[in-house]
Structure 1
Amino acid sequence: MLIVTLLALPLPALAETREERVAVATEYVDLALQGFDMGAVIETMYQPVLQQVAAGGQTLSDAQVARIRQLYLDTFTKPLTSLMREQSQIMADLMTLAEITALRDFYATPEGRSVMAKLPQLTAAQQPGMMRLINDNMSGLMPQVLAIINGEAPPAPTAQP
């Protein structure tokens, strides 16, 4: 069984240790966190809430928006940073040393730092479409999921506009 497991690993993974991959992945994560605007990422999390409030006809004052922003920052900054730091362990399990090294080296370049700085904007730009996609499909999807869970024949899917 051990031989089968070893044969399933990519060949470069046999010549490197997990500790080596974790070390380089940690360097990558440190670089990523240096150029990462955590505040901008967190802002993408509460923007949909503000948009829903505005769509409902309520106007929030600048002070209310600032309090909401601070609430989100206080709630998510440390846990998100910790989550990102844990990424090195996951990367070491999924990627080869060469792949992790290539990522680290890219993010050490001016272009890589620029890309990292723009990732929150990319997320923010995609989030409304993602939320729409999920919301538009959830009402038709959930009855089918529940039917599968309950061992019933799923209802016929509803046509989506």
Structure 2
Amino acid sequence: MTPVRPLVLAALLALATPALSETREERVAAASEYVELALAAFDMGAVIETMYQPILQQVATGGQTLSEAQIGEIRRLYLDTFTEPMFALMRDQSQIMADIMTLAEITALRDFYATPEGRSVMAKLPQLTAAQQPGMMALINDQMQGLMPRVLAVINGEQPPGPTAQP
């Protein structure tokens, strides 16, 4: 073995050591800090509002006009149903983050969301979701008619039909 190879091997082992020496508990702790920071600036109500907007749009497209009271009741139903479970689900992401990210990655996220820019980004994510949702829903709706027969054919062990031309 040439002298260069042991040096390269030693360097690679030295680079891997920090990731190997960190514990899951450390990653969970850092991820929990990140999640709490992120949730402090997170507008859950705005996220939940994006969930029922397609229903309101579909009702309006069908020609029915909802009163402000009806819209308010739908909003209340969604908020009552989803607020706490979604916060709980989001808090659980610290466990997932600890399983798939390094301590350095989690720490970088936490540190970013502790900055004014990071808090601003987190506050704007519901707006981003709301702005993208109509396009996403249109894409899905446009593709489902041609996709579902093909998926069902695969499930049923048949040869999927070719893709259909979309209007």
TM-score, normalising length from structure 2?
0.89
* Structure 2 counterparts to residues 73-84 of structure 1, below 5 A: 73-84=79-90
Counterpart Cα distance in 2 of 1:80 and 1:97? 25
Q: Which runs of 4+ in 1 moved over 2 A?
A: 10-13
Q: Which residue of 1 aligns with 2:102?
A: 96
Q: Which residue of 2 aligns with 1:53?
A: 59
Structure 1 gap segments, 5+ residues each: 1-6
Kept in 2: contact 1:12–1:96 (CA 8 A): no
Mean alpha-carbon deviation: is it higher for 12-21 or for 86-95? Answer: 12-21
3-state SS in 2 of match to 1:125: helix
3-state SS in 2 of match to 1:43: helix
Q: Is it true that 1:27 corresponds to 2:23 in the alignment?
A: no
Counterpart Cα distance in 1 of 2:119 and 2:161? 49
Q: State the one-letter code of the partner of 1:31.
A: L
Counterpart Cα distance in 2 of 1:145 and 1:92? 35
Larger Rg: 2
Once the two structures are TM-superposed, the CA of residue 59 in structure 1 deviates from its matched residue by 0.7
Q: Which residue of 1 aligns with 2:44?
A: 38
Identical aligned residues as a percent: 82
Q: State the one-letter code of the partner of 2:36.
A: D
Counterpart Cα distance in 2 of 1:16 and 1:159? 53
Q: Is it true that 1:66 corresponds to 2:72 in the alignment?
A: yes
Once the two structures are TM-superposed, the CA of residue 12 in structure 1 deviates from its matched residue by 3.9
Q: 1:12 to 1:147 in 2, by over 3 A?
A: farther
Q: Any idea what the Cα deviations from partners look like across 1:74-130, whole Å, max 9, x if unmatched?
A: 000011001000000000011100000000000000000000000000000000000
Once the two structures are TM-superposed, the CA of residue 160 in structure 1 deviates from its matched residue by 1.9
Once the two structures are TM-superposed, the CA of residue 145 in structure 1 deviates from its matched residue by 0.5
Q: Any idea what the Cα deviations from partners look like across 1:105-160, whole Å, max 9, x if unmatched?
A: 00000000000000000000000000011000001001001111111011121012
Counterpart Cα distance in 1 of 2:73 and 2:145? 33
Counterpart Cα distance in 2 of 1:30 and 1:56? 41
TM-score, normalising length from structure 1?
0.92
Aligned residues: 153
Counterpart Cα distance in 1 of 2:18 and 2:41? 30
Alignment partner of 1:108 out of 111, 114, 128:
114
Q: Which residue of 2 aligns with 1:3?
A: none
Once the two structures are TM-superposed, the CA of residue 11 in structure 1 deviates from its matched residue by 5.3
